[in-house]
């Protein structure tokens, strides 16, 4: 397994809309290795979700593990939300592509998502709470959207400047 470089805001590649994954590709050794590498990258970061777009692979899939022990890895390939609750819930979100920044975002508290799993089998999952939030957050990445897009333009510009300053101090 290998750690993959994670794209960081404002990298324009994060705005790329991901293409669907061909079902025949799912079970190939190369795709399975990429999934393993994404899990390793996510756990190492550390994070609870990672969309392929964040590692410069612009295909519609993501890995998630919201468990405390990092022992419930989930793969969502070509995910689509088939229903969502009317009531929203506010979570303070962060993102591996926007390091060190956290903001309150309102999302549907409960969703039903249809997707292919790691074996290429179609699944449907009812999710709520943190898992529902994480799925929606990662699906936004697949559509070229970041959680900071939910912020006001002024706050988004403050985030951009803060990240630029952080990078300057690291360099």
Q: The CATH number of the domain where 91 resides is what? A: 3.90.45.10
Q: Give the Cα-Cα-Cα angle 7, 13, 17 (nearest 5 degrees).
A: 120
Please give the tally of structural domains in the chain: 1
Q: Check the annotation: does 137 bind a ligand.
A: yes
Q: Check the annotation: does 141 bind a ligand.
A: yes
Distance in angstroms (rounded) separating the CA atoms of residues 141 and 97: 10
The answer to whether residue 135 is domain-embedded is yes
The answer to whether residue 1 is domain-embedded is no
Tell me the residue range of the domain where 42 lies: 12-170
The answer to whether residue 117 is domain-embedded is yes
Q: What is the pLDDT of residues 122-166, one digit of tens each?
A: 999 999 999 999 999 999 999 999 999 999 999 888 888 888 888
Residue with tokens 């089998």: 121
Burial string for 117-134 (b: 16+ CB within 10 Å, else e) reads ebeeeebebebeeebbbb
Residue with tokens 């609750």: 85
Burial level of 28, CB count in 10 A (0-12/13-18/19+)? exposed
Q: What is the pLDDT of residues 20-40, one digit of tens each?
A: 999 999 999 999 999 999 999
φ, ψ for residue 103, nearest 5 deg = -155, 150
Please, where are the H alpha helices in the chain? 29-44, 129-142, 153-170
Selecting among 68, 93, 124, 138, the annotated active-site residue is: 138
In the residue annotation, 69 being an active-site residue is answered as no
Average pLDDT for 10-28: 97
């Amino acid at each position: 397994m290998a750690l993959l470089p994670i794209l960081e805001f404002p990298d324009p590649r994060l705005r790329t809309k991901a293409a669907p994954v061909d079902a025949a590709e799912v079970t190939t050794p190369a795709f399975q290795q990429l999934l393993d590498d994404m899990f390793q990258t996510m756990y190492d970061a550390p994070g609870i979700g990672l969309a392929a777009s964040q590692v410069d692979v612009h295909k519609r899939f993501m890995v998630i593990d919201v468990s405390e022990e990092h022992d419930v890895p989930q793969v969502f390939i070509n995910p689509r939300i088939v229903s969502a609750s009317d009531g929203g819930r506010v979570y303070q979100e962060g993102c591996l592509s926007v390091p060190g920044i956290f903001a309150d975002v309102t999302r549907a508290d409960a969703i039903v998502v249809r997707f292919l799993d790691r074996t290429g089998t179609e699944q449907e999952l009812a999710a709520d709470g943190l898992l529902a939030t994480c799925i929606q957050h990662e699906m936004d990445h697949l559509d070229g959207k970041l959680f900071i897009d939910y912020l006001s333009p002024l706050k988004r510009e403050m985030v951009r400047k803060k990240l630029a300053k952080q990078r300057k101090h690291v360099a």
